[in-house]
A and B are shown apart, each in its own frame.
Chain A
Amino acid sequence: MTHIAATASSPTQPAEAFPTTLAKGFVNRLVIIIPYLWLLFFFLVPFIIVFKISLSQTAISMPPYTPVLDFKDGVSGFFAGFRALNFDNYTWLTQDALYFNAYVTSLIIAAISTVLTLIVGYPIAYGMARAPATVRPTLLMLVILPFWTSFLIRVYAWIGILKPEGLLNQVLLATGLISQPLVILNTYTAIFIGIVYSYLPFMVLPLYSSLEKMDYSLVEAAEDLGCPPIGAFWKITFPLSLPGVVAGCLLVFIPAVGEFVIPDLLGGSQTLMIGKTLWNEFFSNRDWPVSSAVAVILLLVLTIPIMFFQQAQAKAQEQGR
């Protein structure tokens, strides 16, 4: 009987707990809402503005495009402006080969630079991950250290190194390795050097984190089973570091495609990259609508393949489980 009495009194307890669980759920949701709000205000809203400008026409006015969507002429004026929006700027991008070439060149340069950064960054990350645990924080610090100086100044410094009478040529001439100064500045080589140098930390850090958490006994097990060290690297270490490779490559490739400073300072005037084209449209031509269209297309070119890639990866992971 006492047992029944006890159960009868128990329903009051969840009733009391109910408001607290609700509050807890609200707090949990709030935590997720904050980053979403951030993205909404600082990414989605500006993107919508850019997209709207890309559908407008240039005009000699302030701001330099028309129509400007406002309620100066009432609600009907707003809708009239809305109807004036069109995709002419996008058609224009397909008519001038300049844009297509700039996109393709940018993608190729970014792809080559990403591969080069991976080749340079992997041994660094590997060495760091295999270093004694006491030394690792120092090595990590050294990788991050360049960030403490302005990016622009570091790229400028490369001009001093790469120019015909620069540091590199002087050293090479002095050691007798070359008799004529090398022309590196204002070539694609200089762009590759600049991108590899600037983006190396973005490659090294994700690689390091995936290599560091790998259990070294896996490599020992592979060797124990008759696999020489190089084979063990390709069969065990590299496949297991793939998430880091992918993350590092995306972190380098995406900003490299739209890179403006490095091609502008190191690549000279003849290099054709989309970041520079965009800058020219915006500041030299003052054609905000076309440059906005260039920016929107760039975003699509970058996000759509990544979305497909991530979807494929999620599917593969699901199958693995």
Chain B
Amino acid sequence: MKSLGSIRRDFAPWNDPKAKPYIQFDKVTKKFGDFTAVNNLSLTIFEREFFALLGASGCGKSTLLRMLAGFEEPSAGRILLDGQDLRGIPPYKRPVNMMFQSYALFPHMTVEKNIAFGLKQEGMPGPDIERRVAEMLKLVKLEQFAKRKPHQLSGGQRQRVALARSVAKRPKVLLLDEPLGALDKKLREETQFELMDLQQELGLTFVVVTHDQEEAMTMADRIAIMDKGEVMQVATPAEIYEAPTSRFVAHFVGNVNMFEGKVAERTASTTRITGATGAQIVVDNGGEATAGSDIVFAIRPEKIKVSSKKPADAVNALEGEVYDVAYLGDMTVYHIKLDDGQVVRASAMNASRVTEDPLTWNDRAWVSFRPDAGVVLTR
């Protein structure tokens, strides 16, 4: 997948075989009684990376974070930080800090004291603490709230205090457990960008746990999609979206159309698929699929063009009927029921104010897409 990773910025140590991993999960398993929260998981995170662990609740992402912080010990396997095995090192001796989902601000201390707490534990001299606290307050723009107690702050302000407190000690790694989960949508979007700026400014390694795919896509350099204690795919947001390697990942991130089918013919440059319901699809990247194998063809809605007439140059064109239309302002979503019975979701950007080819309920319509628009999934 050329060039997909470089959309965000020119930072890709994971493509450099010489790059030294910073955090390494090496065949880590964590069991709580009979329940396996993390199952034989291996993962590498690089220095200064903004890494997101994305998954539904109960997928083991928080357990992974808590093991890194030292609140849980792995049942098996090793966790290395900068080459050092973390086993047996208690949380208060680890060079990582965590921002808790509940923020866990000390309610009996002022904002200032909260931020200074970790520095005092370090035995930093008083004047240095004052300077650092002032610096942190400025960083999160809470200078005038230094003397307030947490309950006198709004949700967004508390989130900033929690952030300031967790970065005050300049940890090697900052762990963020659903950092924006308690904020409303608008504030969350603003804060996402602030977190990214902060990470760049401080040059820290961030590991963030989230169940919000948009949040992970926006902020992270790379995302690990987790399910049932295992990593399904680790890749850049663009790769996760455009080149998922499994049905689970394709389904989990964004919307997707799936065509069940068989590989009818496989050559070096094209793969011809016969859909289970008869549709013929030609793609130019067959992945690992071999002729005759059962596969799934996955294609994102925005890669599908909807038109009232069959496009003359289309390699893949399927006929059907408009089943549903949803006008969302910036785009219109069509549900087209193909003649073979499958419903396809297609979305079109409303780039102009007037649609040239208006389609409405029960109209005959064609869906078409290019041979490189989707991916063939064997898993």
What residues make up the interface of A, taking CB atoms closer than 8 Å to B?
Answer: 215, 217-218, 220-229, 231, 235-236, 239-240, 320-321
From B100, which residue of chain A is reached at the shortest CB distance? Answer: A217
Chain A residues contacting B104 (CB-CB under 8 Å) are 215, 217-218, 220-221
- Cβ contact within 8 Å between A225 and B100: no
Question: Could you tell me how many residues of chain B have their Cβ less than 8 Å away from some Cβ of chain A?
Answer: 26
Chain A residues contacting B11 (CB-CB under 8 Å) are none
Main secondary structure of the interface of A (DSSP, over half): helix
* In the complex, B118 has a CB within 8 A of chain A: yes
- The answer for the CA separation of A236 and B108 in the assembled complex, in Å, is 8
Chain A residues contacting B92 (CB-CB under 8 Å) are 223-229
| CB-based closest 9 A-B pairs | A225-B118, A226-B121, A221-B104, A217-B104, A223-B91, A223-B92, A224-B98, A227-B121, A226-B92
- B residues 244-293 touching A (CB-CB < 8 Å): none
- Cβ contact within 8 Å between B106 and A218: yes
Output the least CB separation between B111 and chain A (Å): 13
Chain B residues contacting A215 (CB-CB under 8 Å) are 102, 104
- Cβ contact within 8 Å between A223 and B100: no
Known A-B contacts A225-B118, A231-B121, A321-B152; the reply to A220 vs B91 at CB < 8 A is yes
Known A-B contacts A320-B149, A321-B152; the reply to A224 vs B97 at CB < 8 A is yes
- Cβ contact within 8 Å between B106 and A236: yes
Known A-B contacts A240-B107, A321-B152; the reply to A224 vs B121 at CB < 8 A is no
What residues make up the interface of B, taking CB atoms closer than 8 Å to A?
Answer: 69-71, 90-93, 96-98, 100, 102, 104-108, 117-118, 121-122, 149, 152, 165-166, 169
- The answer for the CA separation of A159 and B152 in the assembled complex, in Å, is 54
Known A-B contacts A217-B100, A217-B102, A220-B71; the reply to A225 vs B121 at CB < 8 A is yes
From A242, which residue of chain B is reached at the shortest CB distance? Answer: B108
- Cβ contact within 8 Å between A226 and B71: no
Counting chain B CB atoms within 10 Å of each CB, which of A223, A229, A320 scores highest? A223
From B165, which residue of chain A is reached at the shortest CB distance? Answer: A225
From B93, which residue of chain A is reached at the shortest CB distance? Answer: A226
- The answer for the CA separation of A222 and B165 in the assembled complex, in Å, is 11
27 contacts between A and B (CB under 8 A): A217-B100, A217-B102, A220-B69, A220-B71, A220-B104, A221-B104, A223-B70, A223-B90, A223-B91, A223-B92, A224-B69, A224-B70, A224-B91, A224-B92, A224-B98, A225-B121, A225-B165, A225-B169, A226-B93, A226-B121, A226-B169, A227-B117, A227-B121, A228-B90, A228-B92, A239-B108, A240-B108
- The answer for the CA separation of A231 and B121 in the assembled complex, in Å, is 9
Chain B residues contacting A229 (CB-CB under 8 Å) are 92
Output the least CB separation between B206 and chain A (Å): 15
Chain A residues contacting B69 (CB-CB under 8 Å) are 220, 224
Chain B residues contacting A222 (CB-CB under 8 Å) are 106, 117
Chain B residues contacting A225 (CB-CB under 8 Å) are 92, 97, 117-118, 121, 165, 169
- The answer for the CA separation of A236 and B121 in the assembled complex, in Å, is 13
Output the least CB separation between B297 and chain A (Å): 45
Chain B residues contacting A320 (CB-CB under 8 Å) are 149
Chain A residues contacting B105 (CB-CB under 8 Å) are 221
Chain B residues contacting A227 (CB-CB under 8 Å) are 92, 117, 121
